Each structure stands twice: as C-alpha cells, then as structure tokens.
C-alpha cells in the first residue's frame, strides 16, 4: 500500500528541476511538429551529421528508459524492464503444459487452448463441439474440487510476473492520476480564436498553450514510434543506455503480450470457482478484478496474476490507447485479434465508457469559467456520449460514438443534424478537428474533443447579442445569427429581419438610431 501511495510520476512540472527538467524539454521536442528555435536547428544539424557518419543515435527503448529512469527512479525502471523476462517465463510455463499432459487430460488441454485463442502459438484440433464443452465442464469441476491434478505455476515465474505487472500498475496509475489532474486545471491561454487541436507546445508557449505536464508527456513517450525519432530528433538522448530487448522496440509491447497471455490463459482461468452462462472463466476473473474497491482494506491483497493483469490492462487502455491499438492491429493471427477484441469489448469497454464520460464532465466543469454564457453537460446514451450545449434559448448537441471494442476501434465524431447559428463549413471543420484528436495518442480523448467543441461554440457566440428586431440570437427560419451591422450605432441585425423592416416601413434607416443604412 505504501508503494501505491508513493508519487512515482511528478504531478506538476514545477516539481521537476535540474536534469529532469531539461529532459522533459528534450522529450517535448520529439513531438513538436515544427521547430524554428535556433538552438534546436543547430542541434538537429549536428545530429544529422553524426547520423551521416554511421551513428544511428538513440532508439525508442533508449528514450523511454532515460525518461523513466530520470523521472520515476532506477528501481522502478528496472522492474518495468523485467517484463520481457516475465513474458518468457510465463510462455514457457504455458508451453510445458502442452507436452506434459496426455490421455484423459487431452480434452481439457483442448478446451483451454480453444478458450485462450492460441496466443501462445499452439493450434488446437478444433474450437467447438462436445469435446470442448466437456473440457470446460471438467476444468470447472476440477476448480470447484480444489484444483487437484492441476500443476501450480512455479514460484519463480509467479514472483517475476507479479513484480513486473505491479511495477507497471504503479507507473500507469501515476500517469493516469497526473493526466486526470491536468484535465481539471485550466492550461490554455486566453486566445480569442477558435479552439483547435495542437501538438505539444514549447516552453515559449506555442499556439497559446502551456507545455504538457509530466504525466501526459510520459504517456506520449511510452507510445513513441521509430518514425517520431527519425530525422535526428533524438539528439538529446544517449544511445545504448537501455537494456537490450531482442525483438521489441520498447517495453510496452512485451507488457501487452504478457497481459494478453495472462488474461486469456486457460490454465489460470480454470481455477476460477465457476462461470455463468455466456461467460468464460477469464471474463469472470477480469470482471471480479475490475470490481475491486481500491479503498477496501483487502484491496492490497488482490495481487493474483489475473487481478494484476486486469487492472494493468485497463490502465494501459486509458493511458496509452494508441500503443494498445497498434499492438492489436499487428497481431499476426486474426484469431488472436478477434480474441483480444472480444475480451476488450465484454470486460473493459463498458468501464472505459463510464471513465470517459466522467473525465469529460470533469474537464467541462474545470473550464466552466472560460465558457462564457454557455452551459455544457455530458449525457450517456450508449453507445454515444452526447455533449449538450445551451445559450439562453439556443440548444445544440454534439455526439461521440464509442464502438463496442473502444479504444481498439476508434471513437467517431457524429455530425449534428442541425446546429443553429453555426455555418455548415465551420461544423465540418469541427468534425475534422475531432477526428484528428480521436485518432491521436493522448489519453481521455473524448473529454478533449468535447472541451474543444464547447470552447469553439462559446467563441462562435462570443459578443453576439439578440437581434433588435426579432429579439432572438438565432433566426427561427434561416438559423443564422445577426451579422448585418449598422454603420452608425454598430448594432447587428439578421439580414432577413432587416429586409422585412425596410419593406414594411418603406424606409432604409436603422430601426434604432434612424440613421441611413
């Protein structure tokens, strides 16, 4: 419990100083779309010169290792990097099972292999039929009778897997808390322009935004790809500092592989005390782990591998959605992709749906002072999250559709049927911006989109007053706002109202100041 309460990720940028602060700025430069800083350009030229001489520079693993070791400490980073060893041990334990059991246990092996979807690379003879159903019944009976005849996982394997998963849970939990606190603080400058999605800003305040806090920046670093460090952007990081990982570009890939193995393992799931109709044993274990109350005194004892894996995978889906999506898309077998998608859709997406709704509401409440004269709220209409906007008598709704396997499948912005007072080209621009954010790497994307929409809606009506003729902001027929201004008194009118006034009064003077229009 003491480890869970320890601050493994700095909550605020002000808590970081010295070398760590310089490192944050260097990591920030990796995600900067453009750089016009003279120092950056000079270092970039030097890095390209080194690359031309055969120095490949730092890899993704080097960048991730350096950032984690500096900000979270060498002890935790060493445990995070041990996830590759944990994966090897767990896969070896699963593979041993296929060669040791035979005869009467062959059906049980077949059922376990079919349930876990061959993530370990074994191919069952069939995936359905009486033999599989009988195998599952036999596995449940064995679990209810105490699990006799089932080989326990070696203690060395259990300890290594539990230590690696616990370390990742601590890190991802710290990132999630940091990102959540960022969402409740007002970091955007008071720009009068329309809200737009931007890249990570620089210390000088690019595009009117403050630089990202450590939690958001570490989340981006964990999802780093080789393309993002191409062209000499990794000049500030030393090469070869990270322990070697044979087939991985970073520690997140073996972590996700281990999580999928644990969460779909037939041998672990068979020890469950029974399942209900329509649920697999793995789904029951996952649901039980996600239902644990973190404030309960017994929570610290819920460190079985299945419980640890379920909580860690949920945090990974929240903190690093792009990395999980990329891992899932690159699984070589379609059967594996279908298995992971089914697991996410049944066990994790409902929890993430509620989490995204809560995060969006929290962000809107935190920025309420910047939404002048606008009432914004989030409503759940599964599978949609609906942003409801109101300004006096004006009402509008914007929706984000979350697919069943979110975030493996991208959330989509639903164009509104009508948006009173907003021109259609501007609405299309909002939708394009929303799609850009929803497909990005940042956590809590739905809340970011809804906050962007609310700010854009507020900017669109900023300074707009009722038409002095019809006393409405939005014209009831054309759904437009007052745009025609009197050259003398500067009051604005609806074009249609002004034309009707000229026609009925037989005058071309302003209705208020009576000066010629």
pLDDT at position 164 is: 94
Asked if pLDDT for residue 510 goes beyond 60, the answer is yes
User: Can you give the pLDDT at residue 23?
Assistant: 79
CA distance 479 to 467: 13
Question: Could you report the per-residue pLDDT of 27-71, keeping only the tens digit for each?
Answer: 787 776 544 444 444 444 444 444 444 445 788 899 999 999 988
pLDDT at site 298: 46
Residue-wise pLDDT tens digits, 89-147: 999 888 875 544 433 443 333 333 434 434 544 333 333 334 334 444 444 444 444 44
Span 18-30, pLDDT tens digits: 788 887 788 787 7
Looking at per-residue confidence, does 6 or 168 come out higher? 168
* Model pLDDT, residue 315: 93
Measured distance CA(499)–CA(501) in Å, rounded: 5
The pLDDT score that the predictor gives to residue 99 is 46
81 burial (CB, 10 Å; 0-12 / 13-18 / 19+) is buried
- What is the model's pLDDT at position 234? 59
pLDDT tens for 448-496 read 999 999 988 888 887 778 788 888 777 767 767 788 889 899 888 888 8
Give the range among 198-212, 218-232, 413-427 with minimum mean pLDDT: 198-212
Task: Write down the pLDDT at residue 235.
Answer: 65
Per-residue pLDDT at 89:
92
CATH 3.10.110, domain 354-463, yes or no? yes
Instruction: From residue 431, give the alpha-carbon distance in Å to each of 59, 238, 391, 400.
Output: 35, 41, 21, 10
Residue predicted with more confidence, 509 or 199: 509
Question: Where are the domains positioned within the chain?
Answer: 20-25+46-94+156-179+212-292+301-330, 354-463, 473-516
Residues 6+ away with beta carbon under 8 Å from 349: 402, 404, 405, 406
More confident of the two residues 432 and 480: 432
Q: What is the pLDDT of residue 345?
A: 94
115-119, 292-296, 342-346, 481-485: least confidently modelled range: 115-119
Mean pLDDT of the region 215-226: 88
Higher pLDDT, 251 or 282: 251
Q: Is 312 exposed, middle or buried (0-12, 13-18, 19+ CB in 10 A)?
A: buried
**9, pLDDT greater than 90:** no
Distance between CA atoms of 297 and 320, rounded to whole angstroms? Answer: 29
**Reported confidence tier of residue 3, pLDDT bands at 50, 70, 90:** low
What distance in Å separates the CA atoms of residue 233 and residue 235, rounded to the nearest whole number? Answer: 6
| Short-list 206, 207, 217, CA closest to 178 | 217
| Residue 280: partners with Cβ closer than 8 Å, 6 or more residues away | 115, 269
pLDDT value at residue 483: 82
Residue 442 has pLDDT above 90, yes or no: no
Mean pLDDT across the stretch 183-197?
A: 50
Task: Find the range with the poorest average confidence among 249-253, 362-366, 379-383, 459-463.
Answer: 459-463
Q: What local confidence, expressed as pLDDT, does residue 408 receive?
A: 95
Residue 378 has pLDDT above 90, yes or no: yes
pLDDT above 80 for 379 = yes
Average pLDDT, integer, range 342-351: 92
Q: Which of 204-213, 269-278, 476-485 has the lowest mean pLDDT?
A: 269-278
Q: Do residues 254 and 327 lie in contact, with contact meaning Cβ atoms separated by under 8 Å?
A: no
* pLDDT > 70? residue 277: no
Q: Where is average pLDDT lowest: 103-107, 314-318, 339-343, 368-372?
A: 103-107
Mean pLDDT over 192-215 rounds to: 51
pLDDT of residue 419: 79
Which residues, in sequence order, are CB contacts of 102 under 8 Å at separation 6+?
none
- The answer, yes or no, to whether the previous bond of 506 is cis (omega within 30 of 0) is no
Helix (H, G, I), strand (E, B) or coil at 418: coil
Average pLDDT, the chain: 75
Q: Specify the pLDDT at position 407.
A: 93
CA–CA dist 61, 65 (Å, integer): 6
Give residue 275's pLDDT. 47
Report, as an integer, the average pLDDT of 360-384.
89
In angstroms, rounded to a whole number, what is the distance separating the alpha carbons of residues 517 and 477? 24
pLDDT at position 207, please? 43
pLDDT at 209: 54
- pTM listed for this prediction: 0.76
């Amino acid at each position: 419990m003491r480890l869970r309460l320890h601050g493994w990720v700095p909550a605020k940028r002000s808590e970081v100083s010295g070398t760590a602060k310089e490192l944050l700025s260097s990591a920030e430069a990796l995600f900067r779309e453009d750089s016009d800083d003279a120092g950056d350009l000079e270092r970039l030229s030097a890095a390209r010169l080194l690359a031309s001489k055969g120095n490949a520079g730092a890899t993704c693993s080097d960048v991730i290792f350096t950032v984690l070791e500096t900000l979270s400490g060498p002890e935790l980073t060493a445990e995070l990097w041990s996830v590759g060893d944990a994966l090897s041990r767990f896969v070896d334990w699963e593979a041993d099972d296929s060669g040791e059991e035979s005869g009467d246990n062959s059906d049980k092996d077949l059922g376990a292999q079919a349930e876990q979807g061959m993530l370990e690379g074994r191919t069952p003879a069939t995936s359905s039929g009486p033999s599989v159903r009988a195998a599952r019944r036999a596995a449940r009976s064995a679990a209810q009778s105490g699990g006799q005849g089932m080989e326990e996982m070696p203690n060395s394997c259990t300890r290594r897997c539990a230590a690696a998963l616990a370390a990742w849970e601590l890190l991802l939990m710290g990132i999630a808390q940091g990102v959540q606190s960022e969402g409740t603080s007002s970091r955007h400058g008071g720009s009068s322009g329309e809200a737009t999605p931007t890249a990570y800003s620089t210390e000088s305040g690019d595009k009117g935004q403050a630089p990202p806090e450590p939690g958001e920046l570490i989340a981006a670093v964990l999802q780093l790809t080789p393309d993002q460090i191409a062209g000499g952007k990794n000049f500030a990081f030393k090469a070869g500092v990270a322990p070697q990982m044979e087939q991985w570009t970073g520690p997140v890939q073996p972590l996700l592989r281990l999580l999928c193995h644990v969460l779909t393992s037939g041998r672990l799931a068979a020890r469950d005390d029974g399942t209900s109709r329509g649920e697999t044993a793995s789904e029951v274990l996952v649901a039980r782990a996600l239902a644990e109350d973190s404030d309960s005194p017994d929570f610290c004892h819920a460190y079985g591998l299945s419980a640890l894996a379920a909580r860690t995978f949920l945090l990974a889906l929240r903190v690093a959605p792009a990395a999980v999506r990329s891992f899932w898309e690159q699984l070589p077998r379609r059967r594996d992709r279908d298995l992971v998608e089914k697991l996410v859709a049944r066990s994790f997406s409902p929890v993430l749906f509620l989490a995204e709704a809560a995060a969006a509401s929290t962000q809107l409440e935190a920025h309420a002072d910047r939404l002048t004269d606008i009432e914004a709220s989030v409503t759940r209409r599964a599978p949609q999250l609906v942003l409801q906007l109101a300004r006096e008598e004006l009402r509008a709704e914007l929706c984000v559709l979350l697919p069943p396997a979110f975030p493996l499948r991208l959330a989509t912005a639903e164009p509104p049927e009508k948006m009173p007072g907003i021109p259609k080209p501007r609405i299309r621009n909002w939708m394009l911006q929303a799609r850009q954010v929803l497909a990005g790497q940042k956590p809590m994307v739905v809340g970011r989109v809804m906050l962007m929409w609310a700010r854009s809606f507020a900017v669109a009506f900023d300074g707009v007053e009722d038409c002095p003729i019809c006393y409405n902001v939005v014209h009831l027929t054309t759904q437009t706002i007052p745009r025609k201004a009197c050259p003398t008194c500067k009051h604005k009118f609806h074009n249609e109202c002004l034309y009707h006034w000229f026609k009925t009064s037989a005058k071309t003077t302003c209705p208020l100041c009576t000066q010629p229009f």
